[in-house]
Amino acid sequence: MKYSEFFIPTVKDIPSDAEIISHKLMIKAGMIKQSSAGIYSWLPLGFKVLKNIEQIVREEQNNAGANEMLMPTIQSSDLWIKSGRYDDYGKEMLRIKDRSGREMLYGPTNEELITDIFQTYITSYKELPKNLYHIQWKFRDEVRPRFGVMRGREFLMKDNYSFDLNEETAQISYNKMFKAYIKTFLRMGLTPISLRAETGPIGGNLSHEFQILANTGESTLYYDKELESLDPESLDPEKLQSYYAAVDDEHDEDKCPIKKEDLKISKGIEVGHIFYFGTKYSQKLKAYVQDKNGKKIAVHMGSYGIGVSRLVGALIEANHDDKGIKWPMSVAPFKLSIINLMPDDQNCTTIASDYYSSFMAENIDTLYDDRECSIGKKLSDNDLIGTPLQIIIGKRDISAGVVEIKDRLLDSSEKIQINDVKKVVSKKLNF
Ligand code: ATP
Ligand code: MG
């Protein structure tokens, strides 16, 4: 993509209600524009990151055997009345009347709808287990939408639902998802900390919350230091669930089961939440299957959520400096920037264009900064939008036979011979 043809409306002035760094940087980098309280338009750069995150989430769901589908945003109130949540959900639910006066709502979550789909088609234990998910916008009329996309009213969530014959197999489904979650966050370069959580209004027996570490996070976490160095290739959910982790109001120094030197304290942001809630919805919405003996059994269910749009903000909270965003490679909107400092100079432009076409041919998401603007603006914009690897092409360097390669994540720079650049970049990007 040529910068001159891409829409990245970077701005200097940010609204005063942008309190936290990710919100400020997302506005500054031209990633989002607020349309009304807690509701945002995703501009091209923000949208690219959202899609990259979504894709990692999707791949790990698929790897864990979940089936992707898509349910609507607008739901009828009928099923919610049956489950008893139509009244319970309160003011967070956006209620709408259609032209015939039917009561509809903008879905804040999907337990009711999915349970109804399940019961329409599945009648035998032989078809279990099943695990279905979608990545869809939700609406919750939060009392205080704030922190940009971190607590929006309209937000993108991956939610899936597992269906099992009994508690024992439901636990297997739960652990599979637990592992998929850790893997998902590790792939984004984040450090996930899982905490045993209260089940709250969703009801049920077992629940974990997933937080990621970020110095600017809202919660304070106490946890076993082992959780900071997990190997994504050998994740054992039962072992992971046994490590100590607690939020500050649940942590008690005297009762803490691990040694002081093994205990770490950091700030965290919640990005995911999983629940096993047994037959709560299956009984109310009549999701029964026949077991081996022909007996009707209410299926055991779990639900699992990841805040896809919240992750964009959380990733920035975990990865930034005073110049801007530092995207981890796996979610970066562009992996590489080619910054031509002198578009008027024939030599610079020939070399920049040559690099651009060869990296594009390798399918590397590359931003070619071909703009006619000051050198200072070029450098600061590319740092602000957070491209992890940057090739900087200037007249003086070219005469000396070199270009600069900057690693935004390590905050380091080196001069490389013009002809070695492709080799060096390929190595850094692993292709
Ligand atoms: P919170 O306690 O933050 O309100 P929740 O318990 O209501 O979260 P869940 O219903 O478990 O959240 O939703 C699953 C995930 O969706 C959360 O872990 C979070 O990442 C995300 N999420 C929830 N509410 C919002 C919101 N208002 N804006 C953005 N993401 C959200
Ligand atoms: Mg909530």
Ligand 1 center from residue 383 Cα (angstroms): 30
The protein residue whose alpha carbon is closest to atom 21 in ligand 1 is 307
The protein residue whose alpha carbon is closest to atom 1 in ligand 1 is 270
> 328 burial class (0-12, 13-18, 19+ CB within 10 angstroms)?
middle
- 44-63 and 167-187 helices, crossing angle to 10°: 140
Ligand 2 center from residue 244 Cα (angstroms): 25
* Structure confidence at residue 86 (pLDDT): 96
What domains can be seen in the chain, in order of their start residue? 7-321 (3.30.930.10), 336-428 (3.40.50.800)
Ligand 1 center from residue 303 Cα (angstroms): 13
pLDDT classification of 197: cutoffs 50, 70, 90: confident
What is this structure's pTM?
Answer: 0.96
Tens of pLDDT, residue by residue over 347-389, are 999 999 999 999 999 999 999 999 999 999 999 999 999 999 9
Q: For ligand 1, what atom is nearest to the CA of residue 157?
A: 16
* Structure confidence at residue 200 (pLDDT): 59
pLDDT classification of 199: cutoffs 50, 70, 90: low
Closest residue by Cα to residue 406 from 431, 427, 382, 385 = 382
Mean pLDDT for the chain overall: 96
Query: Is it the case that residue 202 has pLDDT exceeding 70?
Result: no
Ligand 2 center from residue 220 Cα (angstroms): 18
What CA–CA distance (Å, rounded) separates 341 from 360?
A: 20
The protein residue whose alpha carbon is closest to atom 23 in ligand 1 is 307
What CA–CA distance (Å, rounded) separates 112 from 132?
A: 13
Q: Residue 242: what are its φ and ψ, rounded to 5°?
A: -90, -15
Query: Is it the case that residue 203 has pLDDT exceeding 70?
Result: no
Ligand nearest to the CA of 108: 1
Instruction: Output the CA torsion 216→237→275→113 (10° steps).
Output: 110
What CA–CA distance (Å, rounded) separates 237 from 177?
A: 9
Ligand 1 center from residue 110 Cα (angstroms): 13
What CA–CA distance (Å, rounded) separates 378 from 390?
A: 11
Is the distance from CB of 125 to CB of 116 less than 8 angstroms?
A: no
As a whole number, mean pLDDT of residues 184-206 equals: 83
The protein residue whose alpha carbon is closest to atom 16 in ligand 1 is 307
Tens of pLDDT, residue by residue over 80-128, are 999 999 999 999 999 999 999 999 999 999 999 999 999 999 999 999 9
pLDDT classification of 201: cutoffs 50, 70, 90: low
Closest residue by Cα to residue 282 from 157, 72, 134, 128 = 128
Tens of pLDDT, residue by residue over 224-264, are 999 999 999 999 999 999 999 999 999 999 999 999 999 99
Query: Is it the case that residue 320 has pLDDT exceeding 90?
Result: yes
Tens of pLDDT, residue by residue over 15-27, are 888 999 999 999 9
Q: For ligand 1, what atom is nearest to the CA of residue 109?
A: 10
> Both tokens of residue 192?
């996930």
Tens of pLDDT, residue by residue over 42-87, are 999 999 999 999 999 999 999 999 999 999 999 999 999 999 999 9
Percent of the chain with pLDDT over 90: 96
The protein residue whose alpha carbon is closest to atom 19 in ligand 1 is 307
Query: Is it the case that residue 417 has pLDDT exceeding 80?
Result: yes
* Structure confidence at residue 116 (pLDDT): 97
Ligand 1 center from residue 360 Cα (angstroms): 37
Task: Show the ligand 1 pocket: residues with CB < 6 angstroms.
Answer: 109, 140, 142, 151-152, 155, 157, 270-273, 305, 307, 309-310
* Structure confidence at residue 50 (pLDDT): 98
